[in-house]
Structure 1
Amino acid sequence: MNENQRRSYWRANTALIRNLLIVWALVSLVFSILLVQPLNTIRFFGVPFGFWMAQQGSILTFVGLIFIYAFQMDKLDRKYNTSKQEDEYNLRK
């Protein structure tokens, strides 16, 4: 992989991480803490939605983010033809 491809790969990698962290922050801070009272006016599975987000929805979102990250990184690795052998070689340099 040449230097331009390596930069593009890491730019895409950090953009993916940034976007997933934004979702994580929205779910954990905004929906589960800051907006819990307004969201509690909505019923979801028989319980207030703000409570459900703080207790279950955030956990399910976090697990989903893990799978999205793994899937997207696999796709990104295939796009840039990276391999573990190449990564290990670069670490030894």
Structure 2
Amino acid sequence: MQFRHYKGGLYDLVCVATLESDLSEMIVYRAADGSIWTRPKQVFFQLVDVDGILVPRFAPVSQSCPTPRQLPPQHPPPGIKLCE
């Protein structure tokens, strides 16, 4: 599944991993240049302020998904799966 960073880059979600030290969930993702990155799941889906508007740090890329500015304040909302 692809996600677009709020600054414009495209990333492929590789997997959800568990951090050994505290068992928190981490998102593992790959940039277009092949580099692998990881962020805490909470940070990956966090909203960031862009010119006074809260947008997702990473938004799913799909025809059926809403645009970043249409997403609800909590992303993803409880009980709602991301587009696949």
TM-score higher than 0.5: no
> As a proportion of its length, which structure holds more helix?
1
Q: Which has the larger radius of gyration?
A: 1
| Class of the TM-score when normalised by the shorter of the 2 chains | under 0.3
| TM-score, scaled relative to structure 2 | 0.26
